[in-house]
């Protein structure tokens, strides 16, 4: 199984949302990271065939989407960001409806619906209308519908957005369960979510990939550049102006600064192990800050 | 399976139930109004509502006869006899009328029939009542059906109608197919239905309101991405959505028609279903009975509905919100209500008679025809063909619109 994106581009007037993206994806979990507006959702929509690329093409096992036709969609499971439900349907009806749209026969549809509702812990409320569901329950139903056709490509756009920490952990575990033997593309700007489950990190900025690295080596590029330093508040303010401070933590009257710099920013600075969040902030710095403010 | 779920999506919405309930109540009220407002007079005063209807039907009991030449001549002579007695006559300064017992016993029970006979002898621009019957010289031989044919010919030859020879021949040929002598009788319920057909436009609007979110509702709710990325999202699902909309439209339409026709027929009775349209107006060229005429016009309104559902779905597939769909649709349905035809020929009039609102009105007596080279078609046929073609085009475009929809 190989999904190839070749020079994929999406242009809206003057603005290029996705700029000649090329990547070959084999089974595994891909964490798609980027600030808001980086082009993640646009890229995912193109992969799912709901948005036509301006140029470039998508191939599955060497065949283009056009060549595969309906067949392409049998490999897809998609959970879009903020996607709506039919509030007057029950979860079971919604799943059966989606199974019909995905072309599953009646018996298989029923079986998959029961199994998946059980997996996402919605069996007890399967006959309740979706409008009575909490945000977390809706997200779980969202991933359950994406899994209905046992897709070999699972696309999840910000699946953990708006969930509380407990629900996020639960959701991450679900994704891990579903990910076996699949190409899973998981977009998020919650870095900790992907750091737990992704095999490969795809980092996007202004429509193109900045980085395509396995999770095990993704932080290598900033290894030896992440520093921590304990200073008083006045010095902390000075450091914040001069250096790239990625975290700031108050400890009594002192402040612990975490910075990314080529060389030690101060005599007492200690080199520390870089994390995915450091990498994210290293690349997105101000953008990520703006995102947090939003 | 998909059709079932799409149908459920439509009917489960609270808004669907509210819109349908309001529309059915409105249709019931509009078609029930003639029953509530019905009144007839006799010597003792006014008789209203269902009692009035029963009284009128009683009056018609003796009038269920074939309008043979002899019967018509005898009827004219009877009225003339009443006018011979000066004590029976009153005047409003211009015209003479019968008064007192002569009117209540000799005219009132059959005034509709007498007016029909008198008006058959009038010139097209006049409207004659029974008081013109004394002017006719029955002895000279004034055959009723000859007068009927003559009046139709005068209408066709009228320069203001500007009909071509082919059109005149078409209408003349159609009028010749009317069986004579005409069978007379009571037809109160059918008359109400035929004159109120355009009120079904509110039902059409209600059905369009309900179907407006079929595609755009998916865009608005954000479900478009999920369904369009599924195997049948761009193919069978689109067909299912269209089928469910048509199914819902048909069911809702039948419900409205049952209310619209059921109320007048329950109150006035089904009497007259097999009587010819000409007993209401002898210049009607269509050789239909009241039942046939009503069924044909219901068929036309149904085709208009299908085309309007098609248009609604097309707009729905192209627009991001059901409200935008309605902003365009409502004027298309209702602006023609405020446009008046200034004749029966010319592009403006011919187009106006094809508009949805006008198409709901049967216009059986207007001689509206469309000529394509040597081929002449009456307005009913053209409406049927026009809306059938429009339905196919609209639904095809709606299908394409959804298939090509980009989730952006």
State whether A79 and B5 contact (CB < 8 Å): no
Residues 387-406 of B with CB under 8 A from A: 406
| Band of residue B199 on the pLDDT scale cut at 50, 70, 90 | very high
Residue ranges of the alpha helices (H) in B38-184?
49-60, 69-84, 100-101, 111-120, 144-157, 165-176
- Res A294: pLDDT: 41
Whether the ω angle into residue B20 lies within 30 degrees of 0, i.e. cis, is: no
Render pLDDT for B263-286 as a digit per residue (tens, 0 to 9).
999 999 999 999 999 999 999 999
SS3 label, residue B108: helix
- Quote the minimal CA–CA distance from A293 to chain B in Å: 25
Question: In the β-sheet with A3-12, what is the strand arrangement from edge to edge?
Answer: A15-25, A3-12, A55-60, A63-64
Number of helices and strands (H, E) in chain A? 10, 14
Provide the Cα torsion A260, A266, A272, A275; round to 10°: -20
Backbone φ and ψ for B38, nearest 5 degrees, come out as -65, 135
Write out the residue range of the structural domain in which residue A15 sits. 3-219
Render pLDDT for A183-219 as a digit per residue (tens, 0 to 9).
999 998 778 888 888 899 999 988 999 888 998 888 8
- Is it the case that residue B160 has pLDDT exceeding 80? yes
Same domain, A178 and A59: yes
State whether A76 and B229 contact (CB < 8 Å): yes
- Res A37: pLDDT: 85
Residues of chain B with C-beta less than 8 angstroms from the C-beta of A93: 5, 8
- Taking the C-alpha atoms of residue B127 and residue B136, their distance in angstroms, rounded to an integer, is 15
Nearest by CB to B231, from A88, A96, A102: name it. A102
Same domain, A266 and A281: yes
Tokens found for residue B189: 């319920």
Same domain, A274 and A253: yes
Nearest by CB to B231, from A74, A80, A83: name it. A74
- Taking the C-alpha atoms of residue A100 and residue A94, their distance in angstroms, rounded to an integer, is 10
Q: Distance between alpha carbon B366 and the CA centroid of its chain, in Å?
A: 13
More confident residue, B135 or B192: B192
Q: Distance between alpha carbon B66 and the CA centroid of its chain, in Å?
A: 26
- Taking the C-alpha atoms of residue A48 and residue A3, their distance in angstroms, rounded to an integer, is 12
- Res B239: pLDDT: 96
**DSSP string covering B195-212, please?**
HHGGGGHHHHHHHHHHHT
Same domain, A202 and A231: no
**Whole-number percent of chain B with pLDDT over 90:** 72
CA triple A211-A216-A220, angle to 5 deg: 60
Tell whether B320 lies on the interface with A, counting CB pairs under 8 A.
no
Same domain, A198 and A265: no
Structurally, chain A folds into a number of domains equal to 2
Question: Which of A51-65, A102-116, B62-76, B340-354 has the weakest average pLDDT?
Answer: B340-354
Tokens found for residue B407: 């989730």
State whether A80 and B2 contact (CB < 8 Å): no
DSSP letter at B133 equals G
The residues near B175 (Cβ < 8 Å, ≥ 6 apart) are B149, B152, B285, B287
User: Is the CB of residue A219 less than 8 Å from the CB of residue A250?
Assistant: no
Mean of the per-residue pLDDT values of chain B: 92
| Residue linked to tokens 């069996």 | A123
- Is it the case that residue B382 has pLDDT exceeding 90? yes
Tell whether B224 lies on the interface with A, counting CB pairs under 8 A.
yes
Of the residues A167, A187, A219, the one at which a domain ends = A219
Strands A153-157, A76-79: pairing is: parallel
Nearest by CB to B225, from A83, A100, A149: name it. A83
User: Is the CB of residue A42 less than 8 Å from the CB of residue A50?
Assistant: no
Residue A155's domain is classified under what CATH number?
3.40.50.300
Q: Distance between alpha carbon B205 and the CA centroid of its chain, in Å?
A: 17
The residues near A91 (Cβ < 8 Å, ≥ 6 apart) are A117, A122, A125, A126, A127, A128, A130, A133, A141
- Res B93: pLDDT: 80
- Res B22: pLDDT: 97
Mean pLDDT confidence for B161-180? 92
The residues near A58 (Cβ < 8 Å, ≥ 6 apart) are A3, A4, A5, A6, A8, A46, A47, A64, A65
- Quote the minimal CA–CA distance from B227 to chain A in Å: 7
User: Is the CB of residue B24 less than 8 Å from the CB of residue B255?
Assistant: yes
pTM of the model: 0.88
Backbone φ and ψ for A217, nearest 5 degrees, come out as -120, 5
- Res A292: pLDDT: 45
CA separation, residue A208 to residues A28, A40, A291, B99, B358 (Å): 21, 9, 19, 96, 58
- Taking the C-alpha atoms of residue B407 and residue A42, their distance in angstroms, rounded to an integer, is 9
CA separation, residue A216 to residues A65, A248, A273, B180 (Å): 32, 26, 13, 97
Residues of chain A with C-beta less than 8 angstroms from the C-beta of B244: none
Sign of the CA dihedral running B113, B37, B56, B31: positive
Same domain, A118 and A195: yes
- Res A288: pLDDT: 53
- Quote the minimal CA–CA distance from B317 to chain A in Å: 14
- As beta bridge partners, residue A5 has A23, A58
Of the residues A171, A186, A219, the one at which a domain ends = A219
Same domain, A267 and A171: no
Same domain, A143 and A199: yes
User: Is the CB of residue B308 less than 8 Å from the CB of residue B319?
Assistant: no
User: Is the CB of residue B235 less than 8 Å from the CB of residue B5?
Assistant: no
In B250-400, where do the E strands start and end?
369-372, 375-378
Residues 3-22 of B with CB under 8 A from A: 5, 8-9, 12-14
Same domain, A197 and A232: no
Backbone φ and ψ for A183, nearest 5 degrees, come out as -95, 115
Same domain, A39 and A149: yes
The residues near A214 (Cβ < 8 Å, ≥ 6 apart) are A199, A200, A201
ipTM of the complex: 0.86
Q: How high is the mean pLDDT in each 10-residue block of chain A (294 residues)?
A: 93 91 92 88 94 94 92 94 86 95 94 93 93 89 92 91 79 83 87 85 90 87 89 87 85 88 86 87 66 44
Same domain, A180 and A225: no
- Res B126: pLDDT: 84
Residues of chain B with C-beta less than 8 angstroms from the C-beta of A161: none
B interface test, pick of A54, A84, A142 with most B CB neighbours within 10 Å: A84
Tell whether A161 lies on the interface with B, counting CB pairs under 8 A.
no
Of the residues A193, A219, A245, the one at which a domain ends = A219
In 3D space, the residue among A199, A191, A217 whose CA is nearest the CA of residue A34 turns out to be A191
Tokens found for residue A222: 């900033």
Render pLDDT for B248-266 as a digit per residue (tens, 0 to 9).
999 999 999 999 999 999 9
- Quote the minimal CA–CA distance from A167 to chain B in Å: 22
Same domain, A69 and A113: yes
Mean pLDDT confidence for B181-186? 94
């Amino acid at each position: 199984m190989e999904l190839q994106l070749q020079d994929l581009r999406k242009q809206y007037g003057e603005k290029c949302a996705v700029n000649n993206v090329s990547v070959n994806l084999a089974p595994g979990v891909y964490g798609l990271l980027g600030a808001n507006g980086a082009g993640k959702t646009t890229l995912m929509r193109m992969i799912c065939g709901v948005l036509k690329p301006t140029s470039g093409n998508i191939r599955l096992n060497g065949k283009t989407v056009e060549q595969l036709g309906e067949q392409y969609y049998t490999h897809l499971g998609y959970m879009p960001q903020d996607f709506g439900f039919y509030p007057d349907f029950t979860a079971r009806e919604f799943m059966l409806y989606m199974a019909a749209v995905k072309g599953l026969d009646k018996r298989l549809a029923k079986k998959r619906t029961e199994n998946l509702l059980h997996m996402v812990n919605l069996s007890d409320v399967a006959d309740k209308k979706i409008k009575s569901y909490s945000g977390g329950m809706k997200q779980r139903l969202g991933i359950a519908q994406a899994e209905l056709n046992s897709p070999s490509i699972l696309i999840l756009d910000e699946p953990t957005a708006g969930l509380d920490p407990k629900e996020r952990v639960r959701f991450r575990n679900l994704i891990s369960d579903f990910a076996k033997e699949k190409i899973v593309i998981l977009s998020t700007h919650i870095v900790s979510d992907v750091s737990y489950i992704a095999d490969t990190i795809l980092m996007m900025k202004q429509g193109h990939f900045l980085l395509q690295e396995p999770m095990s080596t993704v932080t290598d590029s900033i290894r030896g550049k992440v520093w921590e330093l304990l200073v008083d508040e006045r010095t902390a303010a000075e450091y914040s102006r001069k250096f790239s401070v990625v975290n700031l933590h108050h400890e009594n009257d002192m402040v612990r600064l975490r910075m990314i710099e080529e060389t030690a920013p101060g005599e007492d600075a200690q080199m520390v192990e870089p994390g995915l969040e450091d990498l994210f902030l290293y690349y997105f710095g101000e953008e990520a800050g703006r995102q947090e403010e939003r | 399976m998909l059709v079932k779920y799409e149908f459920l999506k439509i009917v489960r919405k609270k808004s669907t139930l509210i819109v349908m309930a309001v529309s059915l109540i409105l249709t019931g009220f509009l078609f029930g109004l003639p029953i509530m407002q019905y009144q007839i007079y006799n010597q003792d005063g006014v008789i209203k509502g269902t009692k009035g209807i029963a009284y009128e039907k009683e009056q018609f009991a003796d009038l269920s006869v074939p309008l043979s030449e002899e019967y018509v001549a005898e009827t004219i002579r009877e009225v003339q006899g009443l006018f011979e007695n000066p004590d029976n006559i009153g005047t409003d300064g211009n015209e003479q009328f019968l008064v007192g017992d002569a009117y209540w016993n000799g005219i009132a029970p059959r005034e509709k029939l007498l007016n029909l006979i008198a008006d058959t002898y009038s010139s097209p621009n006049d409207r004659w009542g029974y008081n013109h019957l004394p002017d006719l010289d029955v002895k000279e031989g004034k055959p009723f059906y000859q007068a009927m044919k003559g009046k139709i010919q005068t209408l066709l030859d009228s320069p203001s109608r500007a009909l071509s020879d082919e059109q005149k021949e078409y209408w003349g040929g159609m009028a010749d197919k009317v069986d004579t002598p005409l069978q007379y009788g009571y037809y109160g319920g059918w008359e109400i239905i035929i004159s109120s057909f355009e009120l079904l436009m509110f039902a059409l609007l209600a059905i369009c309101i309900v179907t407006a979110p079929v595609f755009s509702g998916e865009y608005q709710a954000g479900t478009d991405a999920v369904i369009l990325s599924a195997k049948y999202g761009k193919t069978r699902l689109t067909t299912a959505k269209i089928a469910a909309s048509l199914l819902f439209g048909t069911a809702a339409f039948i419900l409205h028609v049952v209310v619209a026709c059921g109320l007048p027929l329950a109150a006035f009775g089904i009497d007259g279903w097999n009587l010819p349209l000409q007993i209401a107006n002898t210049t009607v060229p269509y050789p239909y009975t009241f039942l046939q005429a009503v069924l044909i016009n219901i068929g036309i309104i149904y085709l208009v509905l299908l085309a309007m559902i098609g248009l609604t779905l097309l707009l729905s597939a192209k627009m991001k919100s059901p409200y935008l769909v309605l902003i365009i649709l409502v004027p298309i349905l209702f602006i023609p209500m405020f446009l008046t035809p200034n004749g029966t020929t010319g592009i403006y009039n011919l187009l106006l008679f094809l508009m949805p609102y006008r198409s709901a009105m049967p216009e059986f007596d207007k001689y509206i025809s469309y000529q394509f080279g040597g081929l002449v078609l009456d307005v009913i046929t053209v409406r049927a063909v026009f809306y059938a073609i429009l339905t196919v085009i609209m639904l095809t475009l709606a299908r394409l619109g959804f298939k090509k929809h980009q989730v952006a």
